[in-house]
């Protein structure tokens, strides 16, 4: 599976002001046996618009307050592709325990590694070739580098027990389907992180969350 590269940005996570406006629209549905709730919305900036490149990717995460409703799903395999000689597949968000195949469409060999995954990890990727599937048994930011090209690096975010969505080019997101209950909403970005906010999700209902950020607190 190929992911469209997004400018990942660099720098420490910074705290930003997050104001969440909740408007719940209930959709009547009876006899549902599967989760049918959802949270959708957009990210907006207070007073003025900040450039997309100032924040890089943003991941909206929903963590169930009830641990028995934590996200569980079969392990998945993702294919991420770099189309240039400088290996950079862009930002990728996955679940802890998922597999990733690194595909190299460039004309240069790479040998990827990550200190977060252990000192012995080496992932060779030849020109026009793909790596063997690599399982990511880690939660949090995983920084990858290339031992053959020290200037190359990219980030993977591995989550666990949460439902998540990466903002699209228009800063929109959709998270679902969700069981009814309370969820902690938070965001992740290389440039900022919003405080946790609790919201309610109803089966058969759609919660519309407009996430407001203060651009003055974004690390440049």
In the numeric block, the tokens 């799903």 are attached to 73
Reduced to 3 states, what is the DSSP secondary structure of residue 183? strand
Residue 73 confidence (pLDDT): 73
Residue 40 confidence (pLDDT): 92
Q: Across the strands, what pairs with 142?
A: 156
Residue 44 confidence (pLDDT): 84
Residue 11 confidence (pLDDT): 33
CATH topology for 77-159 is: Immunoglobulin-like (2.60.40)
- Cα–Cα dist 215/75, whole Å: 37
Give me the residue spans of the domains in the chain: 18-71+162-217, 77-159
**Tokens representing residue 210 in the block:** 């407009």
Residue 190 confidence (pLDDT): 78
Domain boundaries 18-71+162-217, corresponding CATH code: 2.60.40.1120
**Two domains, one topology: 18-71+162-217 and 77-159:** yes
DSSP assignment of 71-97: ------EEEEEE-SSS-----EEEETT
Are 93 and 166 contacting, i.e. CB atoms less than 8 angstroms apart?
Answer: yes
Which tens digits make up the pLDDT trace of 83-96?
999 999 988 899 88
**Tokens representing residue 92 in the block:** 């990728």
Edge-to-edge strands, sheet with 18-26:
18-26, 205-213, 37-45, 172-178
**Tokens representing residue 190 in the block:** 């290389």
Residue 46 confidence (pLDDT): 77
The residues of the chain scoring below 50 in pLDDT are: 1-32
Residue spans of beta strands (DSSP E) within the chain: 18-26, 37-45, 59-64, 77-82, 92-95, 99-104, 110-113, 123-125, 134-135, 140-146, 153-159, 163-166, 172-178, 181-188, 197-201, 205-213
pTM strictly above 0.85? no
Are 127 and 104 contacting, i.e. CB atoms less than 8 angstroms apart?
Answer: yes
């Amino acid at each position: 599976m190929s992911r469209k590269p997004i400018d990942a940005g660099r720098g420490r996570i910074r705290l930003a002001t997050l104001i969440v406006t909740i408007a719940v629209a209930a959709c009547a549905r009876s006899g549902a046996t599967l989760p049918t709730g959802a949270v959708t919305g957009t990210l907006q900036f207070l007073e003025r618009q900040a450039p997309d490149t100032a924040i890089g990717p943003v991941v909206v995460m929903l963590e169930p307050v009830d641990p028995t409703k934590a996200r569980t799903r079969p392990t998945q395999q993702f294919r991420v592709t770099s189309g240039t000689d400088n290996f950079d597949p862009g930002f990728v968000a996955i679940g802890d325990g998922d597999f990733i195949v690194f595909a190299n469409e460039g004309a240069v060999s790479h040998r990827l590694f990550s200190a977060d995954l252990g000192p012995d990890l080496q992932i060779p990727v030849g020109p026009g070739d793909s790596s063997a599937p690599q399982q990511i048994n880690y939660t949090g930011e995983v920084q990858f580098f290339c031992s053959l090209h020290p200037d190359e690096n990219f980030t993977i975010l591995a989550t666990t027990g949460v439902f998540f969505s990466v903002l699209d080019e228009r800063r929109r997101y959709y998270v679902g389907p969700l069981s009814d209950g309370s969820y902690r909403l938070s965001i992740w970005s290389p440039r900022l992180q919003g405080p946790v906010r609790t919201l309610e999700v109803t089966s058969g209902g759609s919660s519309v969350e407009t996430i407001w950020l203060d651009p003055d607190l974004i690390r440049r």
